[in-house]
Structure 1
Amino acid sequence: NFTFNVNCMPRMIVQAEGADESCVTYVMHDEDHTLGNSLRYMIMKNPEVEFCGYSITHPSESKINFRIQTKGGLPAIEPFRRGLTELNDLCQHVLNTFEVIIMKFIHIFCV
């Protein structure tokens, strides 16, 4: 088991025990379907990933079990990290685009 913070975010991500590095379940605290489904989509775009899915442990808990299984013995942590990075990049692009449009709107209609 290990824990790490992605980009020093306060959320803890814990790798569940497993003998096979290519098939791992991660427990992600303080998360829900918003991250779960988005991250699952990003990871499943990777052709080296055989399976990726998540489940909410209980409706009253804010914790998800996130399972990744890869092909050819690729460690599951690699597509997990790549998926997080790509999702972060996508969100940053959406935010930047939104901010540009807001500034254009303000310049056109509020000046």
Structure 2
Amino acid sequence: MADTTMGDVSLEDETQRIVIIEGEDHTLGNALRYIVMKNPKVEFCGYTIPHPSEPYMNIRIQTFDDYSAYEALDKGLSDLMEACDVVTEKFTEARDGFEEQKSS
């Protein structure tokens, strides 16, 4: 996996940000966009990958009122990590059950 670095572009205020994430692609972009948009304090979240040969994506987050875009990004990343942990746990349980059933 490539190293991931982040930068950002400030828009009008703290409720609007474009975050530039290097070393990631649609795998993270679409999952993160989906999770961030589930937050009722988020008005808009979208991402672009400017060109397939450029190793970065831009994710734009716009929130309501006084909820910052960084808070929305942080919550989205945390929620996505929790979802991945659940998937890993369920996969491991199923694999172990299969191996146990196969050996008996």
TM-score (norm 1): 0.87
- The answer for unaligned runs of 5 or more in structure 2 is none
Contact 2:10 2:16 in 1 (8 A): no
Q: Superposition RMSD on alpha carbons, in Å?
A: 1.1
Q: Partner of 1:52: helix, strand, or coil?
A: strand
User: What pairs up with 1:23-62 in 2 under 5 angstroms?
Assistant: 23-62=16-55
2:89 is aligned to 96
- The answer for unaligned runs of 5 or more in structure 1 is 1-9
Higher relative contact order (CA 8 A, sep 6+): 2
Aligned partners of 1:39, 1:74: CA distance in 2, in Å? Answer: 18
Aligned partners of 1:62, 1:32: CA distance in 2, in Å? Answer: 7
Residue identity over aligned pairs, in percent, reads: 40
Aligned partners of 1:85, 1:73: CA distance in 2, in Å? Answer: 20
Number of residue equivalences? 102
